[in-house]
Chains A and B, each alone.
Chain A
Amino acid sequence: MRAILAILKDAFREAWASRVLWMALAAILLVLLALSPMGLDSVVSTQLRPYELVDTEEFLKQLRDGASAEAGPAHHIWTLLAPDQQDRVRQWLRDDAPQGRPARRIQSSVVDVVNGLIGLEKFYQPDAWKSPAWQSADIPETLREISPGESDPSVRATTNLKRLAAAFPASINIQDTTALVLSYGSLRVFGPLRLPPDQVESLINEIIIGVLSVFLGFFGVFASLMVTASVIPRTFEPGEISLLLSKPVPRTVLYLTRFVGGCLFTLVCAGTLVTGTFLLLWLRFDLWRPVLIACIPLYVFLFAIYYSVSALAGAIWRNPIVSLILVVVFWIVQVTASVVNDFMSLAWLPGRQLEELVITDSNVFAIDGSRNYLRWNETTGDWQAMLEDSNPNPLQVLGIFQPGARPRITAVADGNTVFAMQPEFSRFNQAGPARVFRGEAGDNFNRSGNGITPEPAFGIYRTRDEKLVLPGTRAVHQFKDDPEDIRNARNFFRDMLGGLMPGSGSAGFENVSPGLKLALRPDAAVAWNPADESIVCRDRDLLLLLTRSPEGKWSEATRRTLDRKKPALIAAGGDKVLMAEADGSIEILNQSNLEVVTTGSIPAGDKPKRVEMAPDGSHAAVLTHAGAVVVFHAADNVFATLTVDTPRTISGIRFVDGSQLAIGAGRSILIVNPTTGETLKSWTGQIQWPVHLYDYVVKPLHAVFPRPGDLDNTVRYLVTGESSVAVEDEGGAGDEDDLSAPRIVFNPWASFGTNSAFLAVMLLLGCLYIARSDF
């Protein structure tokens, strides 16, 4: 024991003497000290934030149209714009305006322009704003007049913000009356922040994960490796090792203690940074995160994995440069192995998974992860593409999973006609309108008919009287399919133009919710209840029930405001509503009053991905991103996890009726008993060779290969308590608000086994080499 302590003490002496430890600790303490005065202050919101501009295009169109109006908010704001700003608005609305990431900057610019005006005294002038729409706006009368308090700029801006939201209800949705300002000591240095206050914790979590991953997981580990790479080679230099080996200390103890001594360097640095961060969060942001301390051994473990390679190389070749080169080679190999596995498991295989399922009497339809519409071909015993896009996305052609709003499909009962809805991104990178088209068995399910919803839509549903209904962000729409002669004409043009579709538009949609003032966010959850054809909506803290009148119109029946603004998924059937939230809680509601009947939960750390309810309300199911299915049995009022015998992760669910649950798993659809999980029927597509490659080569290798990079997932789990993360969409950011959006699911502890085994093997090899060598 004395010898071990002496070697460890010497490791500290060495680090101390080299001044590297001093410098590292000083740098960490300086950063922590510099950050310590930072804080977040809550203030009254005086500015429009980008996420509150829910439909940029609509807002700009209203402004542009206001130019030609005689009065009204849009007209007045248009007149306040400088000529160059007016030109920019016109440019932004051009068809060739940029999309994707540049469009986000445009949205940000629009917000800047509005915020530049909102504090002006002349922003609101009662006479200039007078218009029929403004007069009928649902706002307090006090907002229509200018109060004396508005001489205060902040009061004026706050009041004008409310007026703006009231004037543009379809495009502006003010969520919070407070905003956060970044402060440094007593100074307010930045803000208000352009994110909802309830997302601050998520933002801080992401910053913590980023700081720890970058500073400790990457730079920290490699800096420590550079400092400690010479420890083992120097120990085994001829002049030193002879002296050490002459002492009564076993060689393996000498090697292992030297190894641990190297790890102590990282322990001190990681301990200082993580403890400092923990204290900072606690004292400055009032976030009590003791679990952060667990990140200290985690990063030491991460370092130990790389250092075990360095130590073994150092013992054999006694050269720190060779040690570092081999560590880099190991890093490249393990990153490459992870990338190959991730591509297969997160992009290619999910692209092949069946996500949307429709079972009819004569046909089985599905949509896979790469947005291919499929139908089961009995003759070939495989899935066959249908409703093919004449201009498909390259990722779709390659069969690679595509994140973003999910396409939907519905079919008439005989299965000979299908209707599909393909959401598209708007030019401002928000969820945009959806294309709606159809396919018929007689036409070999080729894509025909082509409409574009007037606004983002949440789904496509078929009523008992064979009407197609699409609930949108502002209204419920009914799709009036083309008459047969027009459809034939479209097909003719389509064939003549080699698959190119003729023009399309929103003319085929009828608003069937007159008088309903909806302003749902595009990532709200909307459910269709086939029992009574009602629609249930959940948008942050709002729960809304829309019922259908005998005339086929939808109107608000029940409204409930929740005490939380969390993203959720929703399903309806019979007289019940199922609601699953991001934190894993499940609630069964009585549909008529939207009050909670019973509650349950999905496995901890997981998030709901799909929710379905049997048409008769007898069962409900929640599919999680990890592939677990939790079924609610109404008769017993209990929740139970369903066990299904399938080798693939479950990717889709749909109730056929109260006693049959369709499950999509890989390229298979299974009809199972929702109570027992017994498979009643199945359709299994042919397995392609890349799947075999993944099953028999990539996956086993990945299972046994060390994956130090996966420890970042463990850190994420420790910090957020979540075991999945949203996949980046085209905008470059994961959509945490859309629970059905694809997520990368990980087991935070999965890599510990292989990493520990690798570490043990490397140390064992080192010990064997040292024990058997002559020095």
Chain B
Amino acid sequence: MNSSSGSVIEVSGLSKIYRSGLFRRRQFQALKSVNLSVPAGCIYGLLGPNGAGKTTLIKILLGIVSSTSGSASVLKHPAGSMAARRGVGYLPENHRLPRHLTATTALDYYGSLSGMSPAQIRAERPRLLELVGLAGRERERVSGYSKGMLQRLGLAQAMLHRPPLIVLDEPTDGVDPVGRREIRDVLKKLSKEGHTIFLNSHLLQEIELICESVAILNRGQLLKTGTVQEMTRALTDAPLQFQLLGSAERARKVFAAYPAAKLREVTAEAVEVEIRPSGQPEVDAVIDKLRLEGISIYRVARREQTLEEVFMTLVGGAV
């Protein structure tokens, strides 16, 4: 397994234009000069609304779709090349496994396609089935599987040949909360084992829970990349929370100039206020006013944003 340092995915100036129509006149630009670097050994989340270009980006990385311009490499090999694909395990969104297969034969089939020998497949199969919770049901036809079971089996086939990079497109789609948690645990375990996981999901909370780094894509443009912590803390326009000791009446007097201020009485002499100041001078001015009014400032801090808030801010701004 390749768990060396460096990037497993490098994307530079990647663009994709889909053409359609009788004479291929209609055009749709799915990716606009995307630059991305995914470090090895992490769980990397790719965020974006529907139609943002996430799946197109993944398909270009796997050679399923060709790029219009720019370059991309996977595991130091050109994206889509045989060498690159050899090191990737992929679970597509809404994947469809042939209905005549069982979990056992499906792993045989996809393992062989990945270049594994029958002996290697036989050695890996029980562990993986156990890991994804399909042990005991491996001889049932997949046509009788639930959506969640199919997702687990899809995950198993992606992990079967122990690839350094696992690309998952909506892996928890259709999986119940317990199953989601189990999948999250599996992904964390894989990450600890040195696998790089490139995760595309709509579920922001999940990304926030397991991803170390994220990239936000909208309308084909990469809006932001970074660690989750960076994403949620670094924004200077995050709300400012005051914990004050003083009467609510006096506090209201101070914040009368801030209609958007959210004031909450905690006790008769304790108040919490949240404002969104335009800058540090305004923060200083508020503190001066509070002190003049005789209100003690117990604590003042910027509130940490959720990833969803960041996402909505970025995407909303882009809209």
Measured CB to CB, the residues of A under 8 A from B are 2-3, 5-7, 9-10, 13-14, 16-18, 234, 237-250, 774-775
Q: Taking the nearest CB of chain B, how far is it from the CB of A656, in angstroms? A: 68
Bound together, the chains give a CA A2 to CA B92 distance in angstroms of 23
- Which of chain A's residues have a CB closer than 8 A to the CB of B86? 248
Bound together, the chains give a CA A241 to CA B95 distance in angstroms of 9
Contact call A13/B115, Cβ cutoff below 8 A: no
Interface: B148 (CB within 8 A): no
Contact call B105/A239, Cβ cutoff below 8 A: no
Contact call A13/B100, Cβ cutoff below 8 A: yes
B residues 97-137 touching A (CB-CB < 8 Å):
97-98, 100-101, 105, 108-110, 112-117
Across the A-B interface, the 10 shortest Cβ-Cβ residue pairs: A239-B96, A6-B112, A17-B100, A246-B90, A247-B113, A242-B92, A774-B65, A248-B86, A248-B85, A246-B62
Interface residues on B, range: 35 or more
Contact call B59/A13, Cβ cutoff below 8 A: no
Contact call B96/A246, Cβ cutoff below 8 A: no
- Which of chain B's residues have a CB closer than 8 A to the CB of A13? 100-101, 105
Measured CB to CB, the residues of B under 8 A from A are 18, 59, 62-66, 82-83, 85-86, 88, 90-92, 94-98, 100-101, 105, 108-110, 112-117, 141, 154, 157, 167
Contact call B66/A3, Cβ cutoff below 8 A: no
Contact call A246/B100, Cβ cutoff below 8 A: no
Contact call B112/A2, Cβ cutoff below 8 A: yes
Q: Taking the nearest CB of chain A, how far is it from the CB of B173, in angstroms? A: 12
- Which of chain B's residues have a CB closer than 8 A to the CB of A16? 100
Given contacts A10-B109, A240-B98, A243-B90, contact A774 B114 (CB under 8 A): no
Contact call A245/B62, Cβ cutoff below 8 A: yes
How many inter-chain residue pairs (CB < 8 Å) link A and B?
89
- Which of chain A's residues have a CB closer than 8 A to the CB of B117? 2
| Contacting residue for A244 out of B66, B94, B113, CB 8 A | B113
Contact call A247/B64, Cβ cutoff below 8 A: no
Contact call B113/A3, Cβ cutoff below 8 A: yes
Bound together, the chains give a CA A775 to CA B58 distance in angstroms of 12
Contact call B92/A239, Cβ cutoff below 8 A: yes
Q: Taking the nearest CB of chain B, how far is it from the CB of A634, in angstroms? A: 72
Q: Taking the nearest CB of chain B, how far is it from the CB of A19, in angstroms? A: 10
- Which of chain B's residues have a CB closer than 8 A to the CB of A242? 59, 62, 64, 90, 92, 95
Given contacts A17-B100, A246-B90, A774-B66, contact A239 B112 (CB under 8 A): no
Closest to A247 in B: B113
- Which of chain A's residues have a CB closer than 8 A to the CB of B65? 774-775
Question: Interface of chain A, helix or strand or loop or mixed?
Answer: helix
| Contacting residue for B98 out of A5, A14, A775, CB 8 A | A14
Closest to B141 in A: A17
Bound together, the chains give a CA A239 to CA B59 distance in angstroms of 12
Bound together, the chains give a CA A10 to CA B110 distance in angstroms of 10
Bound together, the chains give a CA A249 to CA B112 distance in angstroms of 10
Contact call A240/B85, Cβ cutoff below 8 A: no
Contact call A14/B62, Cβ cutoff below 8 A: no
| Contacting residue for B112 out of A5, A250, A775, CB 8 A | A5
- Listed A/B pairs (22) with beta-carbon separation below 8 Å: A2-B115, A9-B112, A10-B109, A13-B100, A17-B141, A234-B98, A239-B92, A239-B94, A240-B95, A240-B96, A241-B64, A242-B59, A242-B92, A243-B90, A243-B110, A246-B85, A246-B88, A247-B85, A774-B59, A774-B64, A774-B65, A775-B64
Most buried by A among B66, B82, B83, B96: B96
Bound together, the chains give a CA A248 to CA B65 distance in angstroms of 15
- Which of chain B's residues have a CB closer than 8 A to the CB of A6? 108-109, 112-113
| Contacting residue for B115 out of A239, A243, A248, CB 8 A | A248
- Which of chain B's residues have a CB closer than 8 A to the CB of A239? 92, 94-96
Bound together, the chains give a CA A3 to CA B86 distance in angstroms of 12
Bound together, the chains give a CA A206 to CA B175 distance in angstroms of 63
- Which of chain A's residues have a CB closer than 8 A to the CB of B113? 2-3, 6-7, 244, 247-249
- Which of chain A's residues have a CB closer than 8 A to the CB of B167? 246
Closest to A2 in B: B112
Bound together, the chains give a CA A7 to CA B100 distance in angstroms of 13
Bound together, the chains give a CA A234 to CA B99 distance in angstroms of 11
Given contacts A2-B117, A246-B88, contact A18 B100 (CB under 8 A): yes
Contact call A250/B108, Cβ cutoff below 8 A: no
- Which of chain A's residues have a CB closer than 8 A to the CB of B101? 10, 13
Bound together, the chains give a CA A13 to CA B83 distance in angstroms of 29
- Which of chain A's residues have a CB closer than 8 A to the CB of B66? 774
- Which of chain B's residues have a CB closer than 8 A to the CB of A238? 94, 96
Q: Taking the nearest CB of chain B, how far is it from the CB of A360, in angstroms? A: 70
Bound together, the chains give a CA A85 to CA B34 distance in angstroms of 99
Bound together, the chains give a CA A246 to CA B83 distance in angstroms of 11
Bound together, the chains give a CA A248 to CA B85 distance in angstroms of 5
Closest to B96 in A: A239
Q: Taking the nearest CB of chain A, how far is it from the CB of B98, in angstroms? A: 7
